[in-house]
Structure 1
Amino acid sequence: MKHICLAALTCMMAAPVFAGPFEGLYQPAGMNWSCRVELIGADGGALAIRGDWLEGVESSCELTQPTPVRDMKAVLYDAVCSGEGMEYTARVMILSHDDGVYVIRRGYVSDWRFCH
């Protein structure tokens, strides 16, 4: 029994930490998009980070391999994304700021603001 408990504890400790610190509903800065949960991913609907998923307009990315960025409130992820019938991989950095997060990928920065 002691070995089973030790093995279970080891597995839990080795489990990756996903998007937890960024979890929430967002809308693009300067936009008046809906913040309703049922409209996540719809055109003009909420954007979300839930668990290990980043959800944008008609697209979603599974976030894996979280790597904290030293001296920043940021995490770099490998992402497997799908949207508009395509699947692709990307690197995504999420950086926290006072009003939400910056989502940085492929040379582009999106400013996502907390939904209130």
Structure 2
Amino acid sequence: MRLALILSLAPMPLIAQETLDFSGLWRANPTAQCVYTGGDGSALKIEDNTLFGVENRCDMTNPVNVNDMNAQLFDMECAGEGERFEGRAMFMEASDGGLYLIWDGIAFKYERCGEDAAVGTVTTSEELGITQ
């Protein structure tokens, strides 16, 4: 009887969490190239639970699903420009297929780069001949 009571109070096994896949190249605006260079104007790159940004990289660990939001929270362990820092960030699928990255009270919106992103496409108004 005592064993039955103890077993009934034991926590239930955790159900495996769905892993959302944020891998790929993400650009901040339609005129940004879909190439990761690590510098300004570069696309953001997520690969193998690592976020590669402008002159930094962050290991994305301990994912926690956010109920009913197609989102996950990650612990971020980062290094860049000679410094190390940590934080917590939420990655959320946007309804248009993009990505919201919410970090330190700021929400960033990215669009996914296609697997066959065109190289050398027109990226600025000047290249189109539009001037003020």
Q: TM-score range by the shorter chain?
A: 0.7 to 0.9
Higher fraction of strand: 1
The count of residues paired between Structure 1 and Structure 2 equals 98
Gaps of 5+ in 1: 1-15
Q: RMSD across aligned C-alpha pairs, in angstroms?
A: 2.1
Change beyond 3 A, Cα 1:66–1:99 = same
Q: Of 76, 82, 85, which aligns to 2:82?
A: 85
The match for 1:33 is 32
The match for 2:64 is 67
Whether contact under 8 Å (2:70, 2:92) holds in the other structure is: yes
Amino acid at match of 2:74: Y
The match for 1:11 is none
Runs of 4+ aligned structure 1 residues displaced above 6 Å come to: none
Change beyond 3 A, Cα 1:20–1:68 = closer
Percent sequence identity over matched residues?
Answer: 36
Q: Secondary structure of the equivalent of 2:32?
A: coil
Q: Secondary structure of the equivalent of 1:82?
A: strand
1:27 and 1:43 map into 2 onto residues whose CA distance is 11
User: Which TM-score applies when normalising by structure 1?
Assistant: 0.75
Distance apart, 1:103 and its partner CA: 0.6
Amino acid at match of 1:55: F
